[in-house]
Structures are given as C-alpha cells and as structure tokens.
Amino acid sequence: MINVTKINNQNITINDDLIETIEETPDTVITLTTGKKLIVKESRQDVINLVKCYKKEIYRQDN
C-alpha cells in the first residue's frame, strides 16, 4: 500500500498491486485495474519510487 495526495489535498492509501498505468498529462493520473482513475499531486517518478520502496520493505520482512 502506498500513500498519495489527491489534487484536493486529500491523502489516500492505494493498493500498489492494483496500479495498471501511471501517466503525466501534465497531472499525474493513476489508472487502477478496476478502471478507476486517480489524479494525484506526486509525479509519475515519485509514485514509481513509492511502489519500489514499499516492495523492498515487504521483501525485507519476508526474509
């Protein structure tokens, strides 16, 4: 799960496994596998880094 900030400054937590695509148009739009789209303040690269960090954290806990 990663924390992101919607355009209206609302903080939300999303399941990173549900992310299908991340676009910058120039706003960052996250499309989930459910079809839902979220516009967030973080850049595309920031979202990617959040996912990587979360995955590393989970991997460390499994070992």
Annotated domain spans of the chain: 2-62
Contact by Cβ (8 Å): 10, 40:
no
Q: Read off the pLDDT band of 59 (50, 70, 90).
A: confident
Distance CA 18, CA 21 (A): 9
pTM (two decimals): 0.88
Q: Per residue in 1-18, pLDDT tens?
A: 999 999 999 999 999 999
pLDDT band at 58 (very low <50, low <70, confident <90, very high): confident
pLDDT tens-digit map of 16-34: 999 999 999 999 999 999 9
The answer to whether 4 and 38 have CB atoms below 8 angstroms apart is: yes
Within a 13 Å sphere around the CA of 24, how many CA atoms are in the beta-carbon half? 9
pLDDT at site 62: 63
Q: Tokens standing for 19?
A: 């992310």
